[in-house]
Amino acid sequence: MNAASPEDLGFADAQQRLLEIRALLDGVIVGQEALVTDLVTAVFAGGHVLLEGLPGLGKTHLAKALAAALGLQFSRVQCTPDLMPADVTGGEVYTTAPGGASSFVFRPGPVFAQLLLVDEINRATPRTQAALLEAMQEMQVTNAGACHRLPTPFCVLATQNPIELEGTYPLPEAQLDRFMFKLKVPFPARESLRALLDVSLDREPADTLAAIAGPDDVLRIAAVCRSTLLAERCKQAAVSLVLATQPDAGEQASAARRHLRYGASPRALQSLVRAARVRAVMAGRSHVDIADLEAVAAPVLRHRILLRLESELDGLDADTVLESVLGEWRNRT
């Protein structure tokens, strides 16, 4: 094998940067390695992330640390029922120039950031939630007939509390589908809690975090990830996985037939492959493996499947059903 060409450094550098970013965040967010890995995966795959967890588990802290590590412009929106769409996207304001001329000028809202943290998104009204749809999907904001491009990279991290549902507006399926990943923030283990005291008792590590990459690096690494090779076998496997979640498809898994009302969308298929590519680069490969698809299947699919009412009453959740679906899919592939 010849010496590595300069092009090879792209994959090697991308892998190195990804591993460094992950290690940095692991030092800040103690005991959440899997969560950090998934978060980095989603950001470099160009997706948005919905974080679900109890209060005090460090969701906001994680978002701030990620923005600091990547050197991204960060903004935050705290959602409340009286939050208006213009409070998120921005709006036109009447201004008077020093010369005396007055005009309406578009003032960008907090959505015009590279990393947007939408805290407790389910407390915003559906109207405000819908204001995020265009931004998340089209990467632009339309105001008064004018389109305003969002900065790149653009990533939305939304959080929601799974227990305090009174006075909330659950996200509709259409908006849930905009999120590439839905990550559950688990409660830390005992050792992690102990280590947390050493890391963040008297200071906020995210505030002092030095960036190890910039927006350009993020874009370059994302481009490298997009160039990852995808064999026909992996394409078929990804398609099979999505079809396995369809309760009425011919290739559905038995668990999907029993417990699911709706399966994953074609957008889920795209998200699956894009996220798997980032995982492949993280593993130092320029080709996607079935294992990469399997690793990102749960975060990609868990908020895109809809359980039957009977299954929910039986105490099943999406992760349990997905585990069965993945088991059958693994045997098929």
User: Where does this chain bind other proteins (CB under 8 A)?
Assistant: 1-2, 4-5, 7-8, 10-11, 224, 227-234, 284-291
- What is d(CA 71, CA 60) in angstroms, rounded to the nearest whole number? 16
Min CB(291)–other proteins separation in Å = 7
Nearer to other proteins, 199 or 229 (CB): 229
- Residues paired with residue 106 on neighbouring β-strands, in sequence order: 92
CA 33 to chain centroid, in Å, comes to 15
- Residue 44 contacts residue 18 (beta carbons within 8 Å): yes
Q: Which is nearer to other proteins, 277 or 304 (CB)?
A: 277
Amino acid at 325: V
Nearer to other proteins, 11 or 179 (CB): 11
Task: Kindly state the smallest distance separating residue 17's Cβ from other proteins, in Å.
Answer: 15
Q: In angstroms, rounded to a whole number, what is the distance separating the alpha carbons of residues 309 and 330?
A: 27
Residue 199 contacts by C-beta under 8 Å, 6 or more apart in sequence? 27, 28, 30, 205
- Residue 123, both tokens: 């407390």
- CB of residue 1 vs other proteins: minimum separation in angstroms? 5
How far apart are alpha carbons 136 and 156 in whole angstroms?
A: 7
Nearest distance from C-beta of residue 285 to other proteins, angstroms = 6
Joined together, the tokens standing for residue 216 give: 């350009």
| CA 259 and chain centroid, separation | 26
Cβ–Cβ contacts within 10 Å for residue 87, how many? 18
Other C-beta atoms lying within 10 Å of the C-beta of residue 55: 11
Q: For other proteins, which is the closer residue by CB, 45 or 224?
A: 224
Residue 153 CB, nearest distance to other proteins (Å)? 21
15 vs 160 by CB, closer to other proteins: 15
DSSP letter (8 states) at residue 178: T
Name the E strands within the chain. 49-52, 74-78, 90-96, 102-108, 115-119, 140-143, 146-149, 155-160, 181-184, 260-262, 306-307
Q: Cβ of residue 216: shortest distance to other proteins, in angstroms?
A: 18
Least distance from other proteins to the Cβ atom of residue 247, Å: 29
Q: Is the dihedral of CA 140, 122, 304, 26 positive or negative?
A: positive
- Tell the smallest beta-carbon distance from residue 68 to other proteins (Å): 30
Q: How far is the CB of 275 from other proteins (least distance, A)?
A: 16
The burial class, CB within 10 Å (0-12 / 13-18 / 19+), for 230 is middle
Judging by DSSP bridges, how do beta strands 74-78 and 49-52 pair with one another?
unpaired
